Structure 1
Amino acid sequence: MRLPWLVLALFWVLAGCGGGAKVVRLDTGRGAPVVQVPRADGSTPRVALGGAALKEAVARLAPGLRLSPRAQEAARRLFEVEPRSGSYLVDLERRRITPVGAGDQRAAEFSPPDVELTRAYLRWCGRTGRTGDCLGLLKESPVVAGDARFALALALAKGAVLDELWDAVKDMANPEALMQAALWTAATYALLWTVPEPATKGVAAVLTAALIGYVGIDTFWALIQGFRHLMAESDAALTFDALRGAGERFGKVMGRQAARAFVMLATAAIGSTGATLGAKLPGLPGAAGAAVRVEAEAGVVYSAVGQVETVAVAADGFTFGLAPGAVAMSTRGTGSSTGRLV
């Protein structure tokens, strides 16, 4: 295990024990923000999700999902982000730059490591029983590059959980499209946290608040650090084995419970708005526990999570921009046990 992952794993353990708690500022646009200090006594119960719970959630969500044949593009539209990279051919003599799409016969122009990594990915798909471009990584480029590398590393990190997801969808209509949509939604969301001074808005902000409900503030903070390490390692990887190693290291740090929650919520977010995702949350497995935790640690009423408009990283935690009605009663007013006005 490389040193950054060892440090991150140690932080994760400390976070699980309640150390280094972050604070949440709730900004309703009316007066000073409310500062929510998560309880440090370990009294907030963890939300446990089993494989059966993930299968139940997907079965409930799948009938209402509208899946795009281009999952990566759909995820970018969902979160309103631009591509981080692309594939182009540069003609210096004619001063022309030409995008290279999937299936383009000019794939020979790509570097041998990119081509071999892509071949290894396709062989891996075959070994899983899902032949061809099983994760939809080659819809925008003939080779696995850019964001597709990160998505593949994330898939390898959550291998066991993705197997559970596949078991849940394999008998449904077009299961590959649902798998690809869930992966690209999760990967694109994760990439939002890898930029300097990251922040989420709209459906991504609601997803953030919900995920905090399932894993807790400190674990979510560590998860962001993990996304950043994974992006750096996936960008630097030259082989499929190196990419798999990066994914597996992140998977050990993330843990199966957090991975299940992440996959479940990403699936719920497909094609949603902030409001419609918020409406889905109370019906998902583990919602009761998530409601307790997000109110105790973030000061947000779970039934009003759909009113969370933005979530940004601050030096000591997070700042939530939300409607006044989404603030938990326990955080309102000076002198409350979990929050205070500043």
Structure 2
Amino acid sequence: MDIRAPDQQYNPYRIFTREQWARLRDDTPMTLEPGEFERLRSMHDRLDMQEVEDIYLPLSRLLSIYVDATDRLYRAQRQFLDIRDRKVPYIIGVAGSVAVGKSTTARVLQALLARWSPRPKVQMVTTDGFLFPNAVLERQGLMQKKGFPESYDLPTLLAFLSDIKAGRRPVRAPVYSHLVYDIVPNQWIEVDTPDILIVEGVNVLQTGRLPRDGKAVPVVSDFFDFSVYIDAEESVLREWYVRRFLALRDTAFTDPKSYFHRYAVLSDEEATATAIAIWERTNLANLEDNILPTRPRATLILKKRADHLVETVALRRL
């Protein structure tokens, strides 16, 4: 994997093959039980003991180094400034396309990091909860662009992250239901002074347009201490999306409460055609215009093969 421009000599990333990366696990212990893998992985993702050992345990070890270094820097700065403010959470962003496996990665990291000694408090939120409700999207003509940057209540998301970094407690995040495809009214996730917070979403590495007057314009990634981008070729992502759509047709879509219940009666051919149309109309456009351009902003990039296994790891140089 080489994410440089054709005429660019310096690569800001160190690239590791799967085998090279796996060796960096060193003596990091396996703290997950075999029965946990089914709970952690999403429907179509491949996740087994070997993948955790080869990819996620080295990443867990690396994150422990980053978190420890940040803590030591915080303490040194606090002493230098002679201030007594409380330590703020370490925030990890997880980005990537629809169907690439962001949720699985976020859940695995949460489970591994929570087992560090001395058992840090690790919480996770998805930016789905900060989408505008469907009624607002309908009114603004954005239902076909759900998941695009303009479909999020960015001020509320930024206020949430600002409160987290300020150490306020508790902070509430809205709840999103994939069954009804909408925000759940009057339901919240409470985030109460975690040691580590994982924020997962397709557009969490988005930047804003720079202001001409030089005033500060915050973006979501300003609050991140580390970020992970899950990557795969577009043809692979499309295949994964179609397979997930077909699986959901036979499971979640059969629920009469499902927003997509109308798709439950489709034949394999009809469902495949529908999934490809949705992919090309919405998800591919979002990937090309908004998600993929943010890949070079990530601290670490996990590139997956068609079998869902990570083949290369790119770590941003310090």
Asked if these proteins are the same fold (TM beyond 0.5), I'd say: no
Structure (1 or 2) with the greater strand fraction: 2
Structure (1 or 2) with the greater helix fraction: 1
Higher RCO by CA contacts (8 Å cutoff, separation 6 or greater)? 1
The bucket for the TM-score relative to the shorter chain is under 0.3
